[in-house]
Structure 1
Amino acid sequence: MTRSESVDIGKPVAVPVKEDGDGDGGDVAAHVSRTRAVVRRFRANRSAVVGCALLLLIIIVTAAAPLIAPYGPTQVDISDRLSGPTAEHWLGTDSLGRDTLTRLMYGGRVSLAAAGLAVLIATAIGLPLGLISGYFGGVVDWFLDRAADVLMSFPAIVLTIAIIAAVGPGLTTAMVSLGIVYAPRMFRVVRGSTIEVRREVYIEASTSIGTPSLMILRKRVMPNILPATLVQLSFLLASALLAEVTVSLLGLGALPPTASWGSMLGQAFQEMRSQPWLAVYPGIAIAIATLCFNLVGDGLRDAFGRETRKA
């Protein structure tokens, strides 16, 4: 029997597959067709495309900083401190005479990598636990759900600062702490999506013929929860970037002389009255990167959310 179902990003949709272990050519063709449809809808979203392009540009520029930066990130020139934009220093220098443009590029490497590390840890914890909790249910689900409730009852940044205070400052410590704090948010999305998939008829059919749970999770559940997971990843990256800025601004993240956008803001605040422009450049970079993550997330949500699949 044929059934059409419109996808809500919070409600994954059944993907019909045969229980032959590998599927057939028709399944592959259908999958390719759906992927092309999602890509086509994403490309039709101009805001998402612009956000994606800007984000890629930022990543490329920051990754290539050692090759294109005019100076070293810790190169000091006291005789040229707090200078405005010049031919030698396009964005001026900071209180120690370090080139602002160079530190902005190197700082982006640190901030984006730190945000990625936090989200990677959150995903590594929240994704498998969400799959286990949503699929198997029972006492395990109840315990993990209550644990997530407890962790999410505290503001993420406050709990992160508390962990840093107990362990010690440092960017790696801060991002690991943030990853642990964000894990329940990923867990919630994965658990809810898995519960919806578990109710589908084809999951019951797979279970009734003795398909191993691990295979069901890998081939039946994971493809259906992927859209919601990708959207959540994009929003978590934006949130993690702002969190890195906050902890570095407070002196608990990137420590001198390491440059990050948050530490650059913290140093700029010390010269705010005399040289307010020092805070403008990292502030603009943070705002653009965060906006790009959100635009990409909105584009992915719309692209996947309008998907129609037949089962």
Structure 2
Amino acid sequence: MTRSRSVDIKKPAPVPAEKDSGAAVPASRGRALLRRFGGNRSAVVGFGLLLAIIVVTAAAPLLAPYGPAQVDIGDRLSGPTAEHWLGTDTLGRDTLSRLMHGGRVSLAAAGLAVAIATAIGLPLGLVSGYFGGIVDWLLDRAADVLMAFPAIILTIAIIAAVGPGLTTAMVSLGIVYAPRMFRVVRGSTMEVRRAVYIEASTSIGTPSLMILRKRVLPNILPAALVQLSFLLASALLAEVTISLLGLGALPPTASWGSMLGQAFLEMRSSPSLAVYPGIAIAIATLCFNLIGDGLRDAFGRETRKAS
């Protein structure tokens, strides 16, 4: 007789319920983007330098040895000394103090212009790229008209009609730069609009505003952030040009552009007055461009990997 063998059948271990990983995916994606951005040494150096410039200029009232408008006629156009590390200008004002306060004004002005451009171009680009139709055609033609003129020339024309002043100049510049943000957002939105998950959300009756806010906007933000960094560099140079022409920061307000314009009057006797703000402008502009390149590479690698 064959002896029957009992076979122990183990019950499978209960599978733990899957946790909602909706929050983990964006977090891991953000860490991956930071890791890729951190792998770009140029972008990291640019970010570090820009952060240092922002901290120093923001703390200018505490760090600057003199006031930006403090005049000492008896010590005008002096070279670097123990009292004035970078010398003084034609009115005896400390160059280092004005450089720190001027950076505060120039960076804030560039930020204001880009903030206005983003506030106008981002929502209009979303609406135009998502809905299309006559609204898209009208907005696209308006962007064509604005972009047909050089940004500085159009900004100067608006300033001539409204009046000089740094705030007026930066608001005008923000309006002129809005089509550049609009074009980038519109193109990205049109590409996202054709995605399957957008069609699925539309088919089940999800409101358009909710789709724009929760589906489209997060996917076009990478392109918008890259464009924003390049616009900051362009806006900084535009502020320098406008203030250099005497249409931006008005005396006695210090900005890098106004310092550069005043230095040209003393170029032969004190060329160093133009060197210091010129170096600051070049470094800040380079930092914005390096950060933009780093963001573009980080987001671009993610896009290629997803495709």
TM-score by length of 1: 0.91
* Residue 283 (str. 1) matches residue 278 (str. 2): yes
Deviations 1:130-180 (A, max 9, x none): 000000000000000000000000000010011001111000000000000
Partner of residue 264 from structure 1, selected from 253, 256, 259 = 259
- Superposed CA offset, 1:93-139 (max 9, x none): 00000000000000000000000000000000000000000000000
Report the CA distance between 1:226 and its aligned residue. Answer: 0.6
Deviation per CA, 1:280-308, whole angstroms, max 9, x where unpaired?
Answer: 00000000000000000000000111005
Partner of 1:206: 201
Cα distance in structure 2, aligned partners of 1:32 and 1:281: 42
Q: Does 1:157 align with 2:157?
A: no
1:170-228 deviation per Cα after TM superposition (whole angstroms, max 9, x unaligned): 00000000000000000000000000000001101000000000110000001100100
Partner residue in 2 for 1:219: 214
Superposition deviation, residue 31 in structure 1: 1.4
Q: Distance in 2 between matches of 1:31 and 1:104?
A: 41
Corresponding residue for residue 68 of structure 1: 63
Task: Write the distance in 1 (CA, Å) between the matches of 2:298 and 2:242.
Answer: 34
**Equivalent residue, structure 1, for 2:110:** 115
1:187 aligns with 2:211: no
Which of residues 123, 127, 133 is equivalent to 2:122?
A: 127
Identical counterparts, % of pairs: 86
Distance in 2 between residues matched to 1:310 and 1:59, nearest whole Å: 35
In the alignment, what sits opposite 1:138? 133
Distance 2:199 2:298 in 1: 28
1:42 corresponds to: 37
Q: Distance in 2 between matches of 1:267 and 1:186?
A: 33
Structure 1 segment 228-267 matched on structure 2, within 5 A:
228-267=223-262
Of 75, 97, 101, the residue aligned with 1:102 is 97
Q: Which has the higher contact order (CA 8 A, sep 6+)?
A: 1
Q: CA deviation at 1:27?
A: 2.5
Alignment size in residue pairs: 288
Corresponding residue number in structure 2 for 1:298: 293
Distance 1:98 1:30 in 2: 54
Name 1:11's counterpart in structure 2.
Answer: none
Structure 1: gaps of 5 or more residues = 1-23
Corresponding residue of 1:166: 161
SS of aligned partner of 1:216? helix
| Structure 1 residues 225-269: Cα deviation after superposition (integer angstroms, max 9, x where no partner) | 010000000000000000000000000000000000000000000
Distance across 2 between alignment mates of 1:88 and 1:163: 42
Normalising by structure 2, report the TM-score.
Answer: 0.93
Q: Distance in 1 between matches of 2:100 and 2:187?
A: 39
- What is the match of residue 21 of structure 1? none
Question: What is the CA–CA distance in structure 2 between the aligned matches of 1:138 and 1:25, rounded to whole Å?
Answer: 38
Cα deviation for residue 28 of structure 1 reads: 1.9
Once the two structures are TM-superposed, the CA of residue 34 in structure 1 deviates from its matched residue by 1.2
Measure how far apart 1:32 and its partner are: 1.4
Q: 1:32 pairs with 27, 31, 55, which one?
A: 27
CA-based RMSD of the aligned residues comes to 1.0
Structure 2 gaps of 5+ residues are 1-18
- Give the Å deviation of 1:26: 2.1
Match of 1:147 among 142, 148, 151: 142
Deviation at 1:310, TM superposition (A): 5.4
The one-letter amino acid paired with 2:159 is: I
**For residues 163 and 214 of structure 1, what CA distance do their matches in structure 2 show?**
34
Aligned AA (1:207):
T
Alignment-mate amino acid for residue 144 of structure 1: L
